[in-house]
């Protein structure tokens, strides 16, 4: 039974056309703060480490679905400042294996109504995600995806090069290309969303349900009691007692888990993205090529948003090698000759934590009271709503939701891998 709303806290202001007019007439002086800036309490029923989309979403679902109110999200920097605010926002659910397809399509279905759920425009734009095949092997792999997805009730269709170009006119399908386009798999329900808005929308909705969002609050240690269970976290803003901790720290998952004596099967790599100067609408969909390691879409501001591959070595530096972006841009220029004259505006990097099978871990851990949501590698943004929903379930019930039951830590010991590794390649 959910606890009643704290009446000392104002109800979340609803956004609507009428409220916009009302506030405009009052000089926009009456807008509420989106979320509070509270001081840490000495104890919480649950603590989430990491204020990205997954962490904030988990806190929202713990409060909304499971009636918990005494929750804190601890973020060492600012919310959305990690990979949530650094990614290229590609959303799709056309993964190969049944377990992945169920997880990512659960998320995609939630994306389709997320703006309404949160009363916050996350600018989800299902403009279609097209994945290019450049070799005979690519054709076989992507057609296998199409068949597997359709057997799972997930939309995915095979396009000839001409149909691919009709869907995306700037695409070069000349047979003389070094990596010619031999066809494409298209998921029409896939697309992009506004990354910051996802973090802000979840933060606002979670705060309205009583969740404390503590920014500039880095977790430095995880304390365990005599039985080995989690008992507290040490932070740069003091000690916080709690018996339930969820680690949702993306590129720093291993570092944080090690604070509780837990070793994770993860490697962390830099991954880069860059944007061009803004231009008028020119690219109507998302295009990905795993073979030439490039993917591209156009933001609502007009910038071409381009993603590269990961660096070849592990690192915690939030910047990658120049040669990686150079190769990506060469591939983009070959696929889209009209983009050759564009100048690049800025680039940045994030740290992605990757598992050996390139599928996430969303699970309990051997440490009582400690839960982990990590290993999303280069492709976790698309899963944000679904991941948050099932992870909150796992934390609240101390048992997995049927959708994340296979995404355990133990699969790396037992061999029950969900091997999207070769299937997914750069996988965004």
Interface contacts to ligand FAD, rule CB under 6 A: 49-55, 74-77, 81-84, 86-90, 218-219, 248-250, 252, 256, 271-273, 307, 350, 352, 376, 378-382, 428
Query: Do 156 and 146 meet the contact criterion of CB atoms below 8 Å apart?
Result: yes
Would you list the DSSP string of 90-155? Answer: EE----SSHHHHHHHHHHHHHHHHHHHHHTS----B---EEEEE-SHHHHHHHHHHHHHHHHTT--
Between the alpha carbon of residue 206 and those of residues 61, 213, 215, the distances in Å are 8, 9, 14
In the complex with ligand FAD, the residue whose CB is nearer, 103 or 173, is 103
In the complex with ligand FAD, the residue whose CB is nearer, 12 or 79, is 79
| CA 216 centroid distance within chain | 21
In the complex with ligand FAD, the residue whose CB is nearer, 320 or 400, is 320
In the complex with ligand FAD, the residue whose CB is nearer, 182 or 361, is 361
C-alpha distance across the termini of the chain, in Å: 38
Q: Which residues contact 421 (CB under 8 A, 6 or more apart)?
A: 356, 357, 358
For the chain, helix (H) and strand (E) counts, in that order, are 11, 19
In the complex with ligand FAD, the residue whose CB is nearer, 182 or 373, is 373
Instruction: Give CA–CA dist 150/28, Å, rounded.
Output: 49
Shortest spacing between CB 417 and ligand FAD, in angstroms = 19
Question: The tokens 């604070």 sit on which residue?
Answer: 259
In the complex with ligand FAD, the residue whose CB is nearer, 194 or 428, is 428
Shortest spacing between CB 320 and ligand FAD, in angstroms = 9
Buried b (16+ CB within 10 A) or exposed e, 36-58: eeeebeeebebbbbbbbbbbbbb
Query: Do 184 and 139 meet the contact criterion of CB atoms below 8 Å apart?
Result: no
Shortest spacing between CB 352 and ligand FAD, in angstroms = 5
Shortest spacing between CB 248 and ligand FAD, in angstroms = 5
Shortest spacing between CB 194 and ligand FAD, in angstroms = 13
Shortest spacing between CB 409 and ligand FAD, in angstroms = 16
Between the alpha carbon of residue 210 and those of residues 41, 51, 65, the distances in Å are 12, 16, 13
Q: Which residues contact 4 (CB under 8 A, 6 or more apart)?
A: none
In the complex with ligand FAD, the residue whose CB is nearer, 105 or 161, is 105
Instruction: Give CA–CA dist 321/298, Å, rounded.
Output: 24
140 is written with which tokens?
A: 């076989």
Shortest spacing between CB 144 and ligand FAD, in angstroms = 21
Instruction: Give CA–CA dist 39/14, Å, rounded.
Output: 26
In the complex with ligand FAD, the residue whose CB is nearer, 164 or 248, is 248
In the complex with ligand FAD, the residue whose CB is nearer, 182 or 308, is 308
173 is written with which tokens?
A: 């399908």
Shortest spacing between CB 321 and ligand FAD, in angstroms = 13
In the complex with ligand FAD, the residue whose CB is nearer, 172 or 347, is 347
Shortest spacing between CB 19 and ligand FAD, in angstroms = 29
Shortest spacing between CB 79 and ligand FAD, in angstroms = 7
């Amino acid at each position: 039974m959910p606890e009643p709303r704290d009446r000392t806290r104002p109800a979340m202001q609803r956004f609507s056309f009428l409220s916009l007019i009302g506030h405009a007439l009052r000089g926009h002086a009456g807008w509420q703060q989106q979320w509070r800036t509270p001081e840490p309490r000495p104890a919480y029923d649950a603590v989430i480490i990491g204020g990205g989309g997954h962490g904030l979403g988990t806190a929202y679902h713990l409060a909304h679905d499971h009636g918990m109110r005494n929750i804190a999200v601890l973020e060492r920097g600012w919310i959305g400042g990690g990979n949530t605010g650094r990614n290229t926002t590609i959303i799709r659910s056309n993964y190969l294996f049944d377990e992945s397809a169920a997880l990512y399509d659960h998320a995609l279905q939630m994306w389709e109504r997320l703006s309404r759920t949160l009363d916050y425009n996350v600018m989800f734009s299902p403009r279609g995600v097209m994945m290019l095949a450049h070799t005979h092997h690519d054709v076989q792999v992507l057609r296998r995806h199409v068949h597997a997805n359709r057997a799972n009730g997930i939309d995915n269709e095979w396009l000839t090069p001409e149909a691919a170009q009709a869907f995306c006119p700037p695409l070069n399908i000349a047979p003389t290309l070094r990596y010619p386009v031999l066809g494409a798999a298209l998921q029409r329900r896939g697309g992009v969303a506004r990354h910051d808005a996802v973090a802000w929308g979840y933060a606002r909705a979670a705060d309205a349900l009583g969740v404390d969002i503590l920014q500039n609050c880095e977790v430095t240690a995880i304390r365990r009691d005599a039985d080995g269970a989690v008992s507290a976290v040490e932070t740069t803003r003091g000690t916080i007692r709690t018996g339930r901790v969820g680690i949702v720290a993306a590129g720093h998952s291993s570092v944080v888990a090690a604070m509780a004596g837990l070793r994770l099967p993860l490697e962390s790599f830099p991954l880069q993205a860059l944007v061009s100067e803004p231009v008028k609408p020119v690219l109507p969909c998302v295009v990905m090529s795993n073979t030439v390691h490039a993917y591209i879409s156009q933001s609502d501001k007009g910038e071409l948003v381009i993603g590269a591959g990961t660096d070849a070595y592990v690192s915690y530096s939030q910047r990658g090698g120049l040669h990686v972006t150079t190769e990506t841009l060469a591939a983009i220029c070959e696929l889209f000759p009209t983009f050759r004259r564009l100048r690049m505006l800025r680039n940045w990097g994030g740290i992605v934590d990757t598992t050996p099978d390139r599928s996430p871990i969303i699970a309990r851990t051997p440490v009582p009271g400690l839960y982990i949501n990590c290993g999303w590698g280069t492709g976790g943004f698309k899963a944000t709503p679904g991941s948050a929903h099932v992870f909150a379930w796992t934390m609240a019930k101390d048992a997995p939701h049927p959708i994340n039951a296979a995404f355990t830590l133990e699969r790396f010991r037992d061999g029950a891998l969900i091997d999207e590794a070769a299937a997914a390649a750069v996988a965004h």
